[in-house]
Structure 1
Amino acid sequence: MNGKTTGTNLDTVRRHNLATVLGMVHRGGPVARSALTLATGLNRSTIGALVAELVEQGLVLEREPETSNRVGRPSPVVAADGRVVALAVNPEIDAVTVGVVGLDAQVHRRVRYPTGHVPTAQEAAAIASAVIDGLRPDLASASRVVGIGVAVPGLVREDDGVVRLAPHLEWAEEPFAAELAAATGYPVLAANDAHLGANAERLFGAGKGAADLVYLNGGASGIGAGVIVGGAPLTGISGYAGELGHTLVNSGGVRCHCGAIGCLETEVSQRALLRVLGLESADPDELARALRVAVEAGAAEVTAEVDRQLGFLATALRNATNVFDPERIVLGGFLGALHELAPERLPELVAAQALAASAETLTITRAALGSDILLIGAAELAFTPLLASPAS
């Protein structure tokens, strides 16, 4: 909104402008106050007043810029205050991960609690609550904890955080958000992990600047996807869109958890990679290192499995390319690790199968946020109410 708006309640305009400025600083990083003036169309005094109010609320910090050769007084730099934090939770089949993420989009702490078995929803909530209790000393230095965001590998009804179905976790109709809120005392919002990952990469990672992208996340609980169309998430009528992990890639394949035959996640899986590597478990970064070492050492079984999985992944990406015509496909988790082993291989396979017109401008890249992607995505969900209405 710019200063030309008329006929609107002044307090409503102020609240909207506060949200605009905070959102720009949060998503764009530290920015000169003069740049905010230019980007919003508001005058300098209005931006000064808005920034002063956000500083008073403890949401942004203002500092003098580094020395420059520009003539005149340099414009102060405005940055999101990293002491305002959100908690992020990601339950998986083999662990529950909890993070502390600042309003500056930096992950301050990351704790992965291995479970040794597939946790029930109640166990996952109890583990997350216990880990959060252990983080209280860290949280004591925070100026504000806005709440908890949860990235769930399954179908989540976003209005109340009920997990409708998480096949690998064997959860169905679980009110996980409510259980975690009761255990911790914090407000909790939950959504599908891949949708949150797509949003995180769009705002802060490899998808930045792309209005149309497809994000696929590969983890211990299978493969999920998030789709951004025209700069907005494609959610479907109930929020369940993007289940590319359950698209057909092998009609002669095995039965999936979902009941269908030959789904992508039955052919492309972290479990199969861990098996050929001789590992019980690994986070995405550890798995990527192990795969690279094995492939560079010429491990035949590992190389064969990587080639097999890349072939089926290319089929799924062909479908995504033909259906969504994205500018960019971003691969997270173990899918990103597969791609990085031979960055030219997957684009070649997809280009050979997809419609030429759709594939000619397509870029396939690894997610830039690494193991933090789902924590940042979940935290962004928790920050949503604050970003929408900082004056509240």
Structure 2
Amino acid sequence: MKILVTGGAGFIGSAVVRHIIANTTDSIVNVDCLTYAGNLESLVSIENSKRYSFEQVNICDRVELDRVFSLHKPDAVMHLAAESHVDRSISGPAAFIETNIVGTYTLLEAARAYWSKLDSQNKQMFRFHHISTDEVYGDLPHPDEVEADADLPMFMETTPYMPSSPYSASKASSDHLVRAWLRTYGLPTIVTNCSNNYGPYHFPEKLIPLVILNALEGKELPIYGQGDQIRDWLFVEDHARALYKVVTEGKIGETYNIGGHNEKQNLEVVQTICSILDALVPKDEPYAEQITYVQDRPGHDRRYAIDSSKMQKELGWSPVETFDTGLRKTVQWYLNNLKWCQNVQDGSYQRERLGVDSGYSQENT
């Protein structure tokens, strides 16, 4: 196949591109406008492959998208291009509306125009795979909110949407658009919703790379609230394998939840990173001494957890990495690639906190 990947220079997108080029005979067309979180240095290992090509195009630009579809004639689309940082969406929601909603609409229309002109065989083979997040579901009961012996619920593919942030609301909107284009126009779409990803090449605004780099520089390690928010952590290379499974074997019209089976409190994640650094880069004081507690994020979801049994039963996928093995690999990668970290931050972001100027106080509700 020839697969058009949007956002292929981003964190998850670059993992997908690297996986497909390294492990299949398929070709990739990487469409990315190279915002602050998109970096071609994440693709150095495959950039010279004859099966890889790059187009610097914004998904809101219909003229350029039409050109890309006409020139490259893809057999499938994997749509990962998105603004994705919750804190950033609180400080500046407009970019999230533009990219995640308007951009997805524009891409759907370009894909539909291209698909409608294919011959019957290629039309039947075509797939539009939209990659989304578990945050569209809102949050789940926290263990301290239920009886000790009660089963904790998890996100299912049928869980109603209740997004909490501008980011998750914009992703929920894009999910609805994708499903509407199937129902109304017949465009063959599939949706996946994933849990929190982590691993190599992650932009340092997100929790795990932020903590690693701050720890190494002796800076504070900020914990929102009490740090008891729970996330299900998914190693990005496991996610890339899952996404390829879906685009090649998934059923049109289906939704697949992809989780890492690793529920951890944020404080536990930070403490584990500190312990790994204590072993790999020891210093006089434990890294955990740098942990500080800061004002919580407005509207912060307390718990996410994904039931990915559908992926396992129908597509034969399950994660390979445990949280311990994946996190150790991640920390080691950052230690070995500090130059990459410096390059992606230069001129755009210096790990300052975002999303604290909303003017909203939960005490008033």
Report the TM-score when normalising by structure 1: 0.28
Structure number, greater radius of gyration: 1
Structure holding more strand per residue: 1
Relative contact order (alpha carbons < 8 A, sep ≥ 6): 1 or 2 greater? 2
